[in-house]
Amino acid sequence: MGEKREDSASVTRRTFVGAAGASLLAGGAAIAQAVPEVPNRAVGRPRPRDLPAEPLPDDRRLGFAVVGLGKLALSEIVDAFGVTRRARLAALVSGDRDKARRVGARYGVPEDALYGYEDFDRIAGDPRIDAVYIVLPNGLHREFAERAFRAGKHVLCEKPLATNVADCEAMIAAARTAGRKLMTAYRCQFEPHNLTAMRMLRRGELGEIKVVSADIGRAADPTDPSDQWRLDRELAGSGSLFDIGIYALNGARFLLNEEPVEVRAQLFAKPGDARFAEVEDVVAWQMRFPSGVLFNGSTSYSYAFSNSIQVIGTGGIMTFDPAIEYHAQRLRIRAGGQDRVIQWSPIDQFAREIDHFCASISDGIPVVADGEEGLQDVRLMLAILEAGRTGRAVATDWGYRRSADPATTVPDGQGVA
Ligand code: NAD
- How far apart (Å, rounded) are the C-alpha atoms in residues 290 and 257? 11
Question: Is 115 marked active-site?
Answer: no
Q: Which of 5, 118, 136, 348 to mutate to test the pocket of ligand 1 (most atoms within 8 A of CB)?
A: 136
Q: Ligand 1 atom 13: the closest Cα is on which residue?
A: 136
b/e for 321-354, b at 16 or more Cβ within 10 A?
A: ebbbbbbebbbbbebeeeebbbbbbbbbbbbbbb
- How far apart (Å, rounded) are the C-alpha atoms in residues 195 and 368? 12
**Mean predicted confidence (pLDDT) in 400-404:** 94
Question: 187 CB under 6 A from ligand 1?
Answer: yes
Residue 213 near residue 206 (C-beta atoms within 8 A)? no
Judged against a pLDDT cut of 80, whether residue 22 lies above it is answered with no
**Mean predicted confidence (pLDDT) in 272-287:** 97
Task: Catalytic residue, from 107, 115, 133, 247: name it.
Answer: 247
pLDDT at 343: 82
pLDDT at 6: 30
Question: 116 CB under 6 A from ligand 1?
Answer: no
Question: CA angle at residue 201 from 262 to 337, to 5 degrees?
Answer: 120
Identity of the residue numbered 242? F
Of 59-68, 230-239, 322-331, the poorest mean pLDDT is in 322-331
pLDDT at 53: 66
Q: Which residues contact 396 (CB under 8 A, 6 or more apart)?
A: 259, 260, 261, 262, 263, 287, 379, 380, 383
* Tens digit of each residue's pLDDT (9 = 90 or more) over 166-206: 999 999 999 999 999 999 999 999 998 999 999 999 999 99
Question: 243 CB under 6 A from ligand 1?
Answer: yes
**pLDDT band at residue 412 using 50, 70 and 90 as cut-offs:** low
**pLDDT band at residue 298 using 50, 70 and 90 as cut-offs:** very high
**Strand pairing class (294-300; 209-219):** parallel
Q: Where are the domains of the chain?
A: 58-187, 192-346+371-409
**Mean predicted confidence (pLDDT) in 296-317:** 97
CB atoms within 10 A of CB 57: 7
pLDDT at 219: 98
pLDDT at 224: 97
- Which CATH number is correct for 192-346+371-409, 3.30.360.10, 3.40.50.720, 3.90.1150.10, 3.40.390.10? 3.30.360.10
| Helix or strand run (H / E) with residue 349 | helix 349-363
Of the two residues 220 and 38, the one the predictor is more confident about is 220
Domain 58-187 has CATH 3.40.462.20: no
Mean pLDDT, the chain, integer: 87
Question: Counting Cβ atoms within 10 Å, is residue 61 exposed (0-12), middle (13-18) or buried (19+)?
Answer: buried
Judged against a pLDDT cut of 60, whether residue 282 lies above it is answered with yes
pLDDT at 389: 97
Question: 236 CB under 6 A from ligand 1?
Answer: no
Judged against a pLDDT cut of 70, whether residue 108 lies above it is answered with yes
* Tens digit of each residue's pLDDT (9 = 90 or more) over 358-382: 999 999 999 999 999 999 999 999 9
Residue 191 Cα distances to 22, 117, 347, 380, 411, angstroms: 12, 32, 8, 23, 10
How far does residue 75's CA lie from ligand 1's centre (Å)? 11
Rg (CA), the chain: 21
Question: Is 247 marked active-site?
Answer: yes
Question: 185 CB under 6 A from ligand 1?
Answer: yes
pLDDT at 32: 28
b/e for 382-405, b at 16 or more Cβ within 10 A?
A: bbbbebbeeeeebebeeeeebebe
Judged against a pLDDT cut of 70, whether residue 41 lies above it is answered with no
Q: Which of 135, 140, 147, 373 to mutate to test the pocket of ligand 1 (most atoms within 8 A of CB)?
A: 135
- How far apart (Å, rounded) are the C-alpha atoms in residues 142 and 158? 11
Question: 228 CB under 6 A from ligand 1?
Answer: no
Q: Which atom in ligand 1 lies closest to the alpha carbon of residue 326?
A: 40
pLDDT at 47: 39
Question: 245 CB under 6 A from ligand 1?
Answer: no
Judged against a pLDDT cut of 70, whether residue 71 lies above it is answered with yes
Question: CA angle at residue 311 from 16 to 214, to 5 degrees?
Answer: 95
Residue 182 near residue 155 (C-beta atoms within 8 A)? yes
Judged against a pLDDT cut of 60, whether residue 40 lies above it is answered with no
Question: 184 CB under 6 A from ligand 1?
Answer: no
Judged against a pLDDT cut of 80, whether residue 321 lies above it is answered with yes
b/e for 295-317, b at 16 or more Cβ within 10 A?
A: bbbbbbbbeeebbbbbbbbeebe
How far does residue 140's CA lie from ligand 1's centre (Å)? 9
Q: Is 192-346+371-409 the same fold as 58-187?
A: no
Residue 4 near residue 218 (C-beta atoms within 8 A)? yes
Task: Catalytic residue, from 159, 181, 186, 326: name it.
Answer: 159
pLDDT at 31: 25
**pLDDT band at residue 327 using 50, 70 and 90 as cut-offs:** confident
